[in-house]
Amino acid sequence: MELNRNQYFFLGIIILLMGMQLRMVSAFVLTQDATRFLAERTRSSETEGTLVSFSSDLGALPQKVIHPPEWLGWCLMSVGAVLILHSLAMKKPGG
């Protein structure tokens, strides 16, 4: 499947806005369900898994905080801007 001008433009806008969001927010706090989901999927040993399941049953599992690196927002904004400029340089669809 070949992407046309409109699809490049839309993808560029979405990636640019994601980059702007990462630049404006310093940290993301996950909900209890999301934290429990990550804890179940990323446990490294059985003793940690038992401790996580025991503490999550009691509701004592602290919420996970994600701090995205500063360069990630700049990178996404740059890629989005390049995709938008590339879409403007392409031929119009159907023309």
Shared domain check, 61 and 41: yes
Residue with tokens 């490294």: 44
Answer whether residue 93 shows pLDDT above 90: no
Domain count, the chain: 2
Integer Cα distance of 89 and 8 in angstroms: 11
State pTM to two decimals.
0.71
Shared domain check, 33 and 19: no
Shared domain check, 36 and 62: yes
Shared domain check, 50 and 78: no
Q: What is the pLDDT of residues 13-63, one digit of tens each?
A: 999 999 999 999 999 999 988 888 888 888 755 545 555 555 555 556 688
Shared domain check, 58 and 74: no
Select the more confidently predicted residue: 83 or 64: 83
- pLDDT value for 95: 66
Helix (H, G, I), strand (E, B) or coil at 65: strand
Shared domain check, 15 and 40: no
Which residues fall within 8 angstroms of residue 66, CB to CB, at 6 or more apart?
27, 28, 30
Shared domain check, 73 and 62: no
Shared domain check, 82 and 61: no
Domain that holds residue 94: 1-25+68-95
- pLDDT value for 29: 93
Answer whether residue 78 shows pLDDT above 80: yes
- pLDDT value for 67: 94
